[in-house]
Protein backbone atom coordinates (compact mmCIF):
# COMPACT_ATOMS: atom_id res chain seq x y z
CA UNK A 1 0.00 0.00 0.00
CA UNK A 2 1.41 3.37 -1.07
CA UNK A 3 0.32 6.90 -0.18
CA UNK A 4 -0.17 8.42 -3.64
CA UNK A 5 -1.86 11.74 -2.83
CA UNK A 6 -3.23 13.96 -0.07
CA UNK A 7 -6.34 15.82 -1.18
CA UNK A 8 -8.02 18.79 0.50
CA UNK A 9 -11.77 19.42 0.59
CA UNK A 10 -12.83 22.96 1.48
CA UNK A 11 -16.19 24.70 1.77
CA UNK A 12 -18.22 27.11 3.84
CA UNK A 13 -20.71 25.78 6.36
CA UNK A 14 -23.64 28.19 6.39
CA UNK A 15 -26.13 28.02 9.25
CA UNK A 16 -29.77 27.97 8.17
CA UNK A 17 -30.88 27.85 11.81
CA UNK A 18 -29.19 28.51 15.14
CA UNK A 19 -26.44 26.04 16.10
CA UNK A 20 -25.65 24.79 19.60
CA UNK A 21 -22.57 22.71 20.28
CA UNK A 22 -22.08 22.73 24.03
CA UNK A 23 -18.88 23.65 25.82
CA UNK A 24 -19.30 21.10 28.59
CA UNK A 25 -19.13 23.90 31.16
CA UNK A 26 -21.70 22.99 33.79
CA UNK A 27 -21.01 26.02 35.99
CA UNK A 28 -23.66 28.73 35.69
CA UNK A 29 -22.29 32.25 36.03
CA UNK A 30 -24.32 35.28 37.08
CA UNK A 31 -25.80 36.78 33.94
CA UNK A 32 -24.65 33.77 31.92
CA UNK A 33 -26.58 31.07 30.07
CA UNK A 34 -27.51 27.57 31.19
CA UNK A 35 -25.99 26.02 28.05
CA UNK A 36 -23.09 28.01 26.53
CA UNK A 37 -21.62 27.10 23.15
CA UNK A 38 -18.02 26.00 22.78
CA UNK A 39 -15.62 28.88 22.10
CA UNK A 40 -11.99 29.37 21.25
CA UNK A 41 -10.37 30.18 24.62
CA UNK A 42 -8.15 32.85 23.04
CA UNK A 43 -10.53 34.68 20.68
CA UNK A 44 -13.77 33.75 22.50
CA UNK A 45 -15.34 33.11 19.10
CA UNK A 46 -17.56 30.03 18.71
CA UNK A 47 -16.31 27.26 16.44
CA UNK A 48 -17.36 23.78 15.26
CA UNK A 49 -15.03 21.04 16.51
CA UNK A 50 -13.80 18.70 13.82
CA UNK A 51 -14.64 15.81 16.14
CA UNK A 52 -18.32 16.85 16.13
CA UNK A 53 -18.49 16.73 12.34
CA UNK A 54 -16.56 13.45 12.12
CA UNK A 55 -18.66 11.71 14.75
CA UNK A 56 -22.00 12.81 13.32
CA UNK A 57 -20.99 12.03 9.74
CA UNK A 58 -19.71 8.57 10.62
CA UNK A 59 -22.84 7.74 12.60
CA UNK A 60 -25.11 8.85 9.76
CA UNK A 61 -23.20 6.81 7.18
CA UNK A 62 -23.41 3.71 9.39
CA UNK A 63 -27.17 4.19 9.76
CA UNK A 64 -27.51 4.73 6.01
CA UNK A 65 -25.54 1.53 5.32
CA UNK A 66 -27.68 -0.41 7.81
CA UNK A 67 -24.89 -1.73 10.02
CA UNK A 68 -25.84 -0.15 13.36
CA UNK A 69 -27.75 -3.24 14.46
CA UNK A 70 -24.91 -5.56 13.54
CA UNK A 71 -22.50 -3.38 15.54
CA UNK A 72 -25.00 -3.34 18.44
CA UNK A 73 -24.91 0.44 18.64
CA UNK A 74 -21.13 0.66 18.78
CA UNK A 75 -19.03 2.28 16.02
CA UNK A 76 -18.41 -0.07 13.09
CA UNK A 77 -15.17 -1.97 13.63
CA UNK A 78 -13.01 -4.68 12.07
CA UNK A 79 -14.77 -7.43 14.02
CA UNK A 80 -18.08 -6.61 12.31
CA UNK A 81 -16.86 -6.92 8.70
CA UNK A 82 -17.09 -10.74 8.69
CA UNK A 83 -20.83 -10.51 9.48
CA UNK A 84 -21.43 -8.62 6.22
CA UNK A 85 -21.27 -9.65 2.59
CA UNK A 86 -21.36 -8.34 -0.97
CA UNK A 87 -21.83 -4.63 -1.61
CA UNK A 88 -22.60 -3.89 2.04
CA UNK A 89 -19.28 -5.40 3.12
CA UNK A 90 -17.38 -3.38 0.49
CA UNK A 91 -19.06 -0.15 1.64
CA UNK A 92 -18.36 -1.01 5.28
CA UNK A 93 -14.68 -1.46 4.43
CA UNK A 94 -14.73 2.00 2.82
CA UNK A 95 -16.10 3.46 6.06
CA UNK A 96 -13.25 1.89 8.02
CA UNK A 97 -10.75 3.22 5.49
CA UNK A 98 -12.14 6.74 5.89
CA UNK A 99 -12.82 6.85 9.64
CA UNK A 100 -10.68 4.10 11.17
CA UNK A 101 -11.68 1.11 13.26
CA UNK A 102 -9.18 0.46 16.09
CA UNK A 103 -8.06 -3.09 15.17
CA UNK A 104 -6.58 -5.45 17.75
CA UNK A 105 -4.56 -8.66 17.70
CA UNK A 106 -7.68 -10.81 17.32
CA UNK A 107 -8.60 -9.26 13.96
CA UNK A 108 -7.71 -10.79 10.61
CA UNK A 109 -4.27 -9.44 9.69
CA UNK A 110 -5.12 -9.59 5.98
CA UNK A 111 -8.16 -7.38 6.56
CA UNK A 112 -6.11 -4.94 8.64
CA UNK A 113 -3.58 -4.64 5.83
CA UNK A 114 -6.39 -4.19 3.27
CA UNK A 115 -8.02 -1.37 5.25
CA UNK A 116 -4.79 0.41 6.18
CA UNK A 117 -4.59 3.75 8.01
CA UNK A 118 -7.41 6.23 8.56
CA UNK A 119 -7.83 8.40 5.48
CA UNK A 120 -9.83 11.40 6.72
CA UNK A 121 -8.66 14.22 8.98
CA UNK A 122 -11.32 16.72 10.09
CA UNK A 123 -10.18 20.18 11.20
CA UNK A 124 -11.92 22.53 13.62
CA UNK A 125 -14.09 25.04 11.76
CA UNK A 126 -13.51 28.69 12.67
CA UNK A 127 -15.97 31.46 11.93
CA UNK A 128 -15.59 33.00 8.48
CA UNK A 129 -13.64 36.24 9.01
CA UNK A 130 -15.82 38.17 6.55
CA UNK A 131 -18.96 37.21 8.50
CA UNK A 132 -17.32 38.25 11.79
CA UNK A 133 -16.32 41.59 10.27
CA UNK A 134 -19.88 42.14 9.03
CA UNK A 135 -21.27 41.45 12.51
CA UNK A 136 -18.75 43.91 14.01
CA UNK A 137 -19.80 46.61 11.54
CA UNK A 138 -23.44 46.10 12.49
CA UNK A 139 -22.54 46.05 16.20
CA UNK A 140 -24.09 42.60 16.54
CA UNK A 141 -23.00 39.74 18.79
CA UNK A 142 -21.63 36.46 17.45
CA UNK A 143 -24.11 34.40 19.49
CA UNK A 144 -27.73 34.62 20.58
CA UNK A 145 -29.59 33.43 23.67
CA UNK A 146 -32.72 31.41 22.98
CA UNK A 147 -35.28 31.07 25.76
CA UNK A 148 -37.20 27.82 26.07
CA UNK A 149 -39.63 26.26 28.53
CA UNK A 150 -41.97 23.33 29.05
CA UNK A 151 -45.74 23.81 28.73
CA UNK A 152 -47.95 22.19 31.37
CA UNK A 153 -50.50 20.30 29.24
CA UNK A 154 -53.36 20.75 31.72
CA UNK A 155 -52.87 24.30 32.97
CA UNK A 156 -51.44 25.61 29.70
CA UNK A 157 -48.69 27.59 31.44
CA UNK A 158 -44.94 27.71 30.87
CA UNK A 159 -42.70 25.98 33.39
CA UNK A 160 -38.98 25.38 33.93
CA UNK A 161 -37.62 28.24 31.81
CA UNK A 162 -34.08 27.75 30.48
CA UNK A 163 -31.84 29.57 28.07
CA UNK A 164 -29.48 28.19 25.48
CA UNK A 165 -26.68 29.98 23.68
CA UNK A 166 -26.58 29.47 19.91
CA UNK A 167 -24.63 30.71 16.94
CA UNK A 168 -27.31 32.46 14.87
CA UNK A 169 -28.56 31.59 11.42
CA UNK A 170 -26.56 33.16 8.54
CA UNK A 171 -23.26 32.49 10.34
CA UNK A 172 -20.57 30.91 8.17
CA UNK A 173 -17.70 28.63 9.16
CA UNK A 174 -14.58 27.57 7.25
CA UNK A 175 -14.77 23.83 6.60
CA UNK A 176 -11.67 21.81 5.71
CA UNK A 177 -10.75 18.15 5.70
CA UNK A 178 -7.86 16.25 4.17
CA UNK A 179 -8.07 12.86 2.47
CA UNK A 180 -5.13 10.49 2.23
CA UNK A 181 -5.30 8.55 -1.04
CA UNK A 182 -3.61 5.14 -1.18
CA UNK A 183 -2.90 3.33 -4.45
CA UNK A 184 -5.12 5.73 -6.42
CA UNK A 185 -8.32 4.67 -4.64
CA UNK A 186 -11.47 6.80 -5.01
CA UNK A 187 -13.54 7.23 -1.83
CA UNK A 188 -15.02 10.63 -2.71
CA UNK A 189 -18.54 9.30 -3.30
CA UNK A 190 -18.81 8.08 0.31
CA UNK A 191 -17.58 11.43 1.62
CA UNK A 192 -20.16 13.32 -0.44
CA UNK A 193 -22.89 11.01 0.88
CA UNK A 194 -21.80 11.92 4.40
CA UNK A 195 -21.91 15.64 3.67
CA UNK A 196 -25.38 15.32 2.14
CA UNK A 197 -26.61 13.43 5.22
CA UNK A 198 -25.25 16.24 7.41
CA UNK A 199 -27.21 18.78 5.38
CA UNK A 200 -30.39 16.74 5.79
CA UNK A 201 -30.05 16.10 9.53
CA UNK A 202 -28.01 19.01 10.91
CA UNK A 203 -25.23 19.46 13.45
CA UNK A 204 -25.11 19.95 17.20
CA UNK A 205 -27.82 19.46 19.78
CA UNK A 206 -31.62 19.90 19.75
CA UNK A 207 -32.04 19.08 16.06
CA UNK A 208 -35.61 17.91 16.75
CA UNK A 209 -36.38 21.47 17.91
CA UNK A 210 -35.04 23.12 14.77
CA UNK A 211 -31.42 23.69 15.75
CA UNK A 212 -28.38 23.08 13.57
CA UNK A 213 -29.71 23.12 10.00
CA UNK A 214 -26.71 23.66 7.69
CA UNK A 215 -25.67 23.76 4.09
CA UNK A 216 -22.27 23.42 2.43
CA UNK A 217 -21.41 26.06 -0.16
CA UNK A 218 -18.46 26.51 -2.48
CA UNK A 219 -17.25 22.92 -2.03
CA UNK A 220 -13.90 22.30 -3.72
CA UNK A 221 -11.46 19.40 -4.02
CA UNK A 222 -7.88 20.63 -4.39
CA UNK A 223 -9.29 23.95 -5.60
CA UNK A 224 -11.63 22.39 -8.19
CA UNK A 225 -15.36 23.05 -7.83
CA UNK A 226 -17.34 19.92 -6.85
CA UNK A 227 -20.40 21.66 -5.38
CA UNK A 228 -22.56 20.28 -8.22
CA UNK A 229 -21.49 16.72 -7.35
CA UNK A 230 -22.73 17.25 -3.80
CA UNK A 231 -26.04 18.68 -4.99
CA UNK A 232 -26.57 15.71 -7.32
CA UNK A 233 -26.09 13.07 -4.62
CA UNK A 234 -29.07 10.70 -4.55
CA UNK A 235 -29.00 8.80 -1.26
CA UNK A 236 -31.52 6.22 -2.49
CA UNK A 237 -29.31 5.33 -5.44
CA UNK A 238 -26.28 5.18 -3.14
CA UNK A 239 -27.95 2.72 -0.76
List the beta strands (DSSP E) in the chain. Answer: 3-15, 47-48, 120-122, 125-126, 144-151, 158-166, 172-182, 214-221, 224-225
The predicted pLDDT at position 28 comes to 47
Distance CA 220, CA 54 (A): 18
The predicted pLDDT at position 182 comes to 95
The predicted pLDDT at position 33 comes to 55
The predicted pLDDT at position 112 comes to 86
**Rounded to the nearest 10 degrees, what angle do helices 86-99 and 188-201 cross at?**
80
The pTM (predicted TM-score) of the whole model is 0.88
Sheet of strand 172-182: strand arrangement: 120-122, 172-182, 3-15, 214-221, 224-225
pLDDT in tens, the chain (239 residues): 899 999 999 999 999 999 999 866 555 444 445 689 999 999 999 999 999 999 999 999 999 999 999 988 899 998 889 898 899 999 999 999 999 987 776 777 888 888 989 999 999 999 999 999 999 999 999 999 988 777 878 887 777 777 889 999 999 999 999 999 999 999 999 999 999 999 999 999 888 888 999 999 999 999 999 999 999 998 876 55
The predicted pLDDT at position 11 comes to 98
Task: Give me the number of domains the chain comprises.
Answer: 1
Roughly how many angstroms between the first and final C-alpha of the chain, as a whole number?
28
Domain of residue 126 covers 3-238
Amino acid sequence: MQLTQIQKLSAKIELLSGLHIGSGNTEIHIGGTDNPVIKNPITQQPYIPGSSIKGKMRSLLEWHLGVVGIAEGHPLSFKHIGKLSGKTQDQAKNLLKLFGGAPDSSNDQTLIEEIGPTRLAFWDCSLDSAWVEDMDKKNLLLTETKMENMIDRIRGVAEYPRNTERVPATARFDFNLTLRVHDGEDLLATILQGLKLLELTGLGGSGSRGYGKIQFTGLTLDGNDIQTKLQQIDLQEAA
